[in-house]
């Protein structure tokens, strides 16, 4: 079995990105300026970004045996991600997401779930989870997220969790309680913690991404704030996943919290400045941003 530094678990999708002149109003119409297709899904995006940062990475997720599933797996393999934990469901369709991106880089998403949540707790191989140094969970079945978090925590592995947009609709309490690092947007932070994020960081790190305004990390001892990097946004899809990858890549190496947040912001900025959620930055490009813009 492959031994990896980070094992990501969650959605593996196929993305169709449509650049539009504006988001249409009800009964309105917008023009498609361009379109492209690539792999997506938060767990897959983080795994690909970590691999681009030279971190050995594996993935737990599920796809159909259709063309989209084949393309998604091929893209991840080419990025250097171990796919031994990805389940291919016969006769099923891979989840496809349609990302509408306006001229400011803002994103709206339409999609079907396909079989991106076909991994149940019974499908999880405990040895695969234990073979990783760190487990990164993203939005998925709450029972599966909890099962993976329990196995990792019981084995003394660190756990991070980015519950995603559907946080308010799903019961992630157990996985969140076991997480050493929690990644959320400002909106998600309010849903989870209300206005007092400092008290929420009781034995864990709460990382709040703030879009163009950078990010904040709350620990039991202190708060780290980084204002981010100026970038002309082309497509903000995947920027949060790139941030998480950058943060984890440095934090797992023992970097202090300030550097981890800055590194994550550099990864997010580089991704937002390019088309597609899978525009993973390289370690060299990130170092250039940190050197030139700090």
Helix, coil or strand: residue 219: coil
Q: Phi/psi class of residue 74: alpha, beta or left (left: φ > 0; alpha: ψ in -120 to 50)?
A: alpha
Question: Six-digit token pair at 9?
Answer: 């678990």
Outline where the chain has alpha helix (H): 42-52, 67-79, 126-130, 142-154, 173-178, 186-193, 197-200, 239-251, 257-272, 283-293
Sort 206 into a burial class: Cβ within 10 Å, 0-12 / 13-18 / 19+: buried
Distance CA 195, CA 198 (A): 9
**CA-CA-CA-CA dihedral for 219, 143, 40, 114, to nearest 10:** -160
**241 included as an active-site residue:** yes
Nearest in space to 10 (alpha carbons), one of 234, 244, 263, 215: 244
The tally of CA atoms less than 13 A away on the side-chain side of residue 20 is: 20
Question: Six-digit token pair at 223?
Answer: 């708060």
The tally of CA atoms less than 13 A away on the side-chain side of residue 106 is: 6
The one catalytic residue among 66, 241, 258, 288 = 241
Q: Do strands 57-64 and 107-111 pair parallel, antiparallel, or not at all (unpaired)?
A: unpaired
CA distances to 98, 136, 138, 150, 161 from 153, rounded to whole Å, are 35, 12, 16, 5, 13
- Any idea which residues carry the catalytic annotation? 241
């Amino acid at each position: 079995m492959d031994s990896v530094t980070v094992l990501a678990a969650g959605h593996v999708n196929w993305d169709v990105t449509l650049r539009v002149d504006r988001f249409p109003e009800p009964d309105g119409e917008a023009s498609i300026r361009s379109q492209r297709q690539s792999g997506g899904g938060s767990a897959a995006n983080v795994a690909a970004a970590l691999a681009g940062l030279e971190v050995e990475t594996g993935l737990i997720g599920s796809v159909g045996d259709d063309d989209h599933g084949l393309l998604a797996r091929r893209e991840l393999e080419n990025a250097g991600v171990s796919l031994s934990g990805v389940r291919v469901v016969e006769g099923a369709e891979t989840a496809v997401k349609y990302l509408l991106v306006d001229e400011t880089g803002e994103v709206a998403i339409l999609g079907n779930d396909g079989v991106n949540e076909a991994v149940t707790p019974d499908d999880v191989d405990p040895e695969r989870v234990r073979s990783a140094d760190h487990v990164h969970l993203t939005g998925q079945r709450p029972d599966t997220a909890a099962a993976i978090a329990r196995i990792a925590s019981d084995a003394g592995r660190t756990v991070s969790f980015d519950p995603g947009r559907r946080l308010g609709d799903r019961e992630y309490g157990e996985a969140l309680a076991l997480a050493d690092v929690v990644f959320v947007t400002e909106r998600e932070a309010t849903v989870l913690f209300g206005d007092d994020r400092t008290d929420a960081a009781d034995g864990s790190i709460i990382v709040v991404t703030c879009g163009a305004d950078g990010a904040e990390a709350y620990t039991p001892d202190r708060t780290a704030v980084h204002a981010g990097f100026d970038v002309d946004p082309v497509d903000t899809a995947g920027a949060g996943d790139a941030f998480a990858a950058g943060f984890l890549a440095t934090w797992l190496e023992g970097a202090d919290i300030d550097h981890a947040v800055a590194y994550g912001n550099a990864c997010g900025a580089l991704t937002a400045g390019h088309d597609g959620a899978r525009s993973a930055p390289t370690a060299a490009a990130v170092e250039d941003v940190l050197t030139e813009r700090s």
